[in-house]
């Protein structure tokens, strides 16, 4: 059996398979379908300082190839996360990432400071890229200087590995990746959702109450794969690929363009057992290709093919 273990910054993952924030419940809701011991890690839904009710309905719309969401970072806030969610999630036998979000730099700093004291949290993922707050204006996700500054300030209050989740809604994502690396990020997650829209022309109605929202799922895979590759080319820190992954083939494509790990998101809504199956399916593909370790595939696109191929 191929070895699936990867090293992601200072984290040892049993395999490169992570849940994507906001697609796998708050904690262990999916554990009977995708047991944590078959995953590399779990990423929480974005936690904010105060509870957030989220945006008005409708805030989900299924499209021909994926879906649009405009949840608006609904969550119960950090106090509830610490009191109820984290103690349960901490029992999971895999690496635990807490995804944090806010509207001001100070929100990220305060959340990181609070979570730094919690040993149950192995790493933080900073959601710099939610398109559904502040009318899609993405305060941190599109300006390299602001993103670098958030990382720099957060870095001062925690030694935990920091991953910056980036937006694809920028001209050059490589500039964003370089900026967060300069700010002290240990890794980059590429990418969050693409800004999108859907309408019902008969009713002259928007499909989302906020008109625009984040588009995710199979339709975004080529864009997300390109973004992940651009990030991997631009920085020395590891990249976690995310966008449209729904098979072991997809996982290995992301690794081939330079990702060290991947996150499975939208596909978990229609198939919550997928993430739990993927490690076995990735192993089978590697075994069939005569590859001993998944690490051999990371960033392999420009390397000569092995004699066996």
Contact residues toward ligand SIN (CB under 6 A) are 22, 46, 69-73, 127, 130, 132, 192-193, 214
Query: What minimum distance in Å lies between the beta carbon of 16 and ligand SIN?
Result: 21
> What Cα–Cα distance (Å) separates residue 178 from each residue in 76, 194, 240?
32, 20, 15
Residue closer to ligand SIN by CB (options 36, 101) is: 101
- The rounded distance, in Å, linking the Cα atoms of 200 and 203 is 6
CA distance 208 to 34: 30
Q: Report, in Å, the least distance between residue 54 CB and ligand SIN.
A: 7
Q: How far are the Cα atoms of 70, 283, 292, 293 from residue 287, in angstroms, in the given order?
A: 41, 6, 7, 9
Cβ-based nearer residue to ligand SIN, 34 or 127: 127
CB atoms within 10 A of CB 181: 20
130 is known as an active-site residue: yes
Return the structure tokens found at 214. Answer: 């984040």
Dig out the tokens for 107 from the structure.
Answer: 């929100």
The smaller minimum CB distance to ligand SIN, of residues 140 and 254, is found at: 140
Instruction: State the minimum distance, in angstroms, from the CB of residue 115 to ligand SIN.
Output: 18
Helices (H), 124-247: 144-155, 173-183, 221-234
**How near is the Cβ of 24 to ligand SIN at its closest, in Å?**
13
Catalytic-labelled residue, pool 130, 227, 259, 295:
130
Of residues 128 and 295, the one with the C-beta less far from ligand SIN: 128
The nearest distance, CB 281 to ligand SIN, in angstroms, is 27
Distance (Å, whole) CA 271 – CA 106: 37
The region, left, alpha or beta by phi > 0 then psi within -120 to 50, assigned to residue 91 is: alpha
What values do phi and psi take at 66, rounded to 5? 120, -165
Cα distance between residue 284 and residue 287, in whole Å:
5
Nearer to ligand SIN among residue 15 and residue 23 (C-beta): 23
Q: Which residues are catalytic?
A: 130
């Amino acid at each position: 059996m191929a070895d699936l273990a990867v090293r992601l910054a200072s984290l040892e993952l049993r395999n490169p398979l992570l849940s994507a924030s906001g697609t796998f419940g708050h904690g262990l809701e999916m554990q009977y379908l995708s047991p944590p011991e078959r995953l590399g890690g779990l990423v929480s839904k974005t936690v904010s300082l105060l509870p957030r009710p989220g945006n008005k309905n409708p805030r989900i719309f299924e499209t021909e190839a994926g879906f649009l969401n405009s949840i608006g970072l609904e969550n119960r806030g950090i106090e509830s996360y610490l009191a109820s969610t984290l103690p349960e999630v901490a029992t999971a036998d895999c690496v635990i990432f807490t995804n944090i979000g806010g509207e001001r730099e100070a929100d990220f700093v305060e959340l990181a400071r609070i979570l730094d004291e919690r040993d149950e949290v192995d790493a933080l993922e900073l959601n710099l890229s939610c398109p559904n707050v502040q009318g899609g204006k993405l305060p941190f996700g599109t300006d390299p200087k602001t993103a670098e500054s958030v990382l720099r300030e957060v870095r001062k209050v925690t030694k935990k590995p920091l991953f910056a989740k980036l937006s694809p809604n920028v001209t050059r994502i490589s500039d964003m990746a370089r900026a967060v690396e300069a700010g002290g990020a240990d890794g980059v997650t590429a990418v969050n959702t693409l800004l999108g829209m859907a309408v019902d022309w008969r009713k002259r109605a928007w499909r989302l109450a906020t008109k625009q929202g984040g588009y995710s799922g199979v339709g975004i895979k080529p864009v997300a794969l390109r973004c992940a590759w651009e990030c991997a080319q631009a920085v020395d820190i590891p990249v976690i690929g995310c966008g449209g992954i729904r098979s072991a083939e997809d996982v290995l494509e992301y690794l081939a363009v330079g990702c060290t790990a991947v996150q499975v998101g939208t596909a978990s809504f229609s198939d919550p057992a997928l993430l739990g199956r993927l490690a076995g399916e990735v192993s089978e593909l590697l075994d069939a290709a005569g590859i001993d370790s998944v690490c051999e595939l990371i960033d392999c696109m420009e390397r000569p093919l092995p004699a066996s191929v």
